[in-house]
Chains A and B, each alone.
Chain A
C-alpha cells in the first residue's frame, strides 16, 4: 500500500461511517469533522520535505495497511499481562480506541467531575462539546490532527466544573491489541477544567501482540483561571508501533499546567505538545524523558505561546539514546509583543550511550516583547568518564556504573510524577530498559 492508498482508504472509511449516522451527520461536531477531512485530503501525509517532519519520516507508516475498526476480544485476563500495580482512581480502558465499559471504573462523584466517551458527549451534550471541540488543536497544517479530527469519535470528554479539587486521578489506558492484525486507533480527548479546580490526568499507551499498531491521538485541554492541571503521558508500546500524538492546551490566567511526557518504549513516536498561555500570571511546565534503543525513533515537538504578560514557562526534556536509535527535540517559544515580563526557560539534555545513536535538537525562539527573560540550552554527550572511573574505583562494575549514572540522569524527570502507582511503574520500566544494555 502506498501513501495515496492509506489516504484513499481513510477517506472511504469516513464516507462509510458517515452513511451510518442518523441525525448526527448534521450536527456542528460533524461539520467540523467534514472540514477536517477535506483539509486532510488536501494536505496528505507529510514527507520529510515538510519542515516540521524533516527528521521524522512517516513513509514506513503510511506504506502499511492498518485496520481502523478492528474487533478485539481483549479481556481482563489479557490485562493481567500488562499490570500497573496499585493503580487507583478513575481508570478508563480503550482497546483499539473503543471504550471498554467492563474493564473501566469511575470512582469520582458526579459533583466533582463528568467523564463521558467522546461519542456519548457529542450526542448528549452537543452544546458543551461544540463550545470547546477543536478550538485549540490546529489541523490546518497538521495532516494527522486533521485526520484525527475527521474521525473524532473515540476517547473521552472530561468536564471538571469550577471550584473542584478532583481527589482521584483520571487514568486513560489506551491499549492496541495487535495480536491478529495491524491495528490503528484515533483517540480524541477533550478535557475542560473549570476555574480554581484541580485534576490529575494520565494517558498511558500500550501495545500488545506482534503486529504493527498505529495510534493517532489528539488531546485538548482547556484550563480555566487559577486551575491546576497535572498531565502525564506514558508510552510503552512495542517496537512495531507508530504513535503520533498531539496535546494542545489553552491556559487562562493564573492557571498552572504541568505536562510530563515519558516515552519508555515505542517504534516510531512523534509527540506534539502545544501550549498557549492566554492569561496573565500563568505557569506552564513541560518535562519529558525518552529512552529509545534499537532502531526506535522518538520525536518531541513542543511549542509554548506566550500571548499575555507576566507568565512563566519551564521546560526540561531528557533523552537517553542507545543502539541505533534516533531522537528529535524541537522546542518553540513564542513571546508575543504584549507578553512583557515573560519568563521562559528551556533545556534539553541528552546522553548517547552508543556511537550509532543520534539526536537532533532545535530550539526555536521567537520573541517580540522586549522585557522578557528567556533562556534555552541543549546538550548531547556521553556519560562522564571521571564519574565512571570514580564509581569503578569504589568497586562498582563498569556496566553497573553506567546504568547507575544513566538512571540518575533520568531520575529528576521520573520524580516529577505525583501519581505514585504510575511513578513506580515507570521507575521499573525505565530501570529495566536502562539495564537491558
Chain B
C-alpha cells in the first residue's frame, strides 16, 4: 500500500528526514517510536503534504501513485488520513459542518455523488458510537476550547467518518485518560480491516497493548534505525533508547 524509499526532507536549512525507508501493506498495523525530535511528526506531515517541509530526495508510493506529486487534499481523497499530534482550533466552523464539507469534497474528487443531510445524520450517529463522542462537542467550533483528550477523540471520530485507507495517528494517545485511551484504541481496532493500514506514532508501549502492532520501528535522527515485532516496544519501554544508539555506534 505504502512504500517510502530513501525519503529526505528539510525545513529551512535543517535536514530532518535523512533517507527513510518504510513499507506498509494493507491490513497491517505499524508502530513508530523514537525520541523527541527524531522526525516522527515530520514524517507524518510530509506524508500528508505539508508544504513547509521541502522534500529533497526519495520517493513515496501510495497504491501505485507518487504521493509526493499530489496536493494534501488529493492525498486525503485517495485515503490518506493524519490524526494530528496537535489538532488545530478552527473558530467559527463546527465539526459537523467541517466534516460535511470534507466528505463531499472528497466524494466529488472521486467522482461520487454528494451526500445529503439525512445521510450525514445517519452516518454521524453510527460513527459517534464508535468513539463515544457527544453531539454537543460536534456542534461546537472545531477543537476550539476542547480539552486535550477531546481533541484526540475528535480526530478519531473524523477518521471514522472519513474511513481512510491509510491512517497515521501521531501521538493520539498522549493526553488521554485511561478510559479514553481504551475507547480510542477500541475505535481504531473497530475501523481496522484487511483493506486498510494504520501507522501509530507513540512514546508509550501501553497503547500497543490495545492496538497491537504487526511491526514496531524506531525512528532516530531522521531514519528508521531498527524494526521488529511488538516485543521491541516492550524492550524500549524497559531500556530506553541508549542501547539503540550504542548499536549504531554512538557513544552514550
Is B109 located at the chain interface by the 8 A CB criterion?
Answer: yes
- Knowing A397-B105, A398-B71, A400-B105 are in contact, say whether A392-B49 is a contact too (CB < 8 A): yes
Q: Are B72 and A393 within 8 A (Cβ)?
A: yes
Binds A, one of B17-25, B86-94, B131-139, B187-195: B86-94
Q: Are B73 and A397 within 8 A (Cβ)?
A: yes
Is B48 located at the chain interface by the 8 A CB criterion?
Answer: yes
Binds B, one of A22-30, A137-145, A258-266, A381-389: A381-389
Q: Are A394 and B92 within 8 A (Cβ)?
A: no
Interface string of A42-75 (1 = CB under 8 A from B): 0000000000000000000000000000000000
Interface size class of B (residues with CB under 8 A): 20 to 34
Q: Are A395 and B93 within 8 A (Cβ)?
A: no
Is B219 located at the chain interface by the 8 A CB criterion?
Answer: no
Is B243 located at the chain interface by the 8 A CB criterion?
Answer: no
Q: Are B88 and A404 within 8 A (Cβ)?
A: no
The residue that B105 contacts in the complex, of A386, A390, A395, A405, with Cβ under 8 A, is A395
Nearest Cβ in chain B — how far from A252, in angstroms?
A: 36
Q: Are B48 and A391 within 8 A (Cβ)?
A: no
Binds B, one of A4-12, A407-415, A419-427: A407-415
Interface string of B73-109 (1 = CB under 8 A from A): 1011100011010011111110000110111011001
Is A84 located at the chain interface by the 8 A CB criterion?
Answer: no
Interface string of A359-403 (1 = CB under 8 A from B): 000000000000000000000000011110111111111101000
- Knowing A395-B77, A400-B105 are in contact, say whether A389-B92 is a contact too (CB < 8 A): no
Neighbouring B residues of A407 by C-beta, 8 Å: 92
Nearest opposing residue in chain B for A390, CB measure: B88
A386 to B85, CA, bound (A): 12
Interchain pairs with CB closer than 8 A, number:
75
A390 to B158, CA, bound (A): 12
A408 to B142, CA, bound (A): 11
Is B162 located at the chain interface by the 8 A CB criterion?
Answer: yes
Q: Are A389 and B101 within 8 A (Cβ)?
A: no
Q: Are A393 and B76 within 8 A (Cβ)?
A: yes
Neighbouring B residues of A400 by C-beta, 8 Å: 101, 105
- Knowing A389-B50, A400-B101 are in contact, say whether A395-B90 is a contact too (CB < 8 A): no
Instruction: Using CB atoms and an 8 Å cutoff, list the residues of chain B in contact with chain A.
Output: 48-50, 52, 71-73, 75-77, 81-82, 84, 87-93, 98-99, 101-103, 105-106, 109, 141, 158, 162
Instruction: Using CB atoms and an 8 Å cutoff, list the residues of chain A in contact with chain B.
Output: 384-387, 389-398, 400, 404-405, 407-409, 411-412
CB-based closest 8 A-B pairs: A408-B92, A395-B76, A392-B72, A395-B106, A390-B88, A394-B102, A392-B73, A408-B93
- 9 A–B contact pairs at CB < 8 A? A390-B90, A391-B102, A393-B72, A393-B76, A393-B81, A395-B73, A396-B101, A396-B102, A405-B93
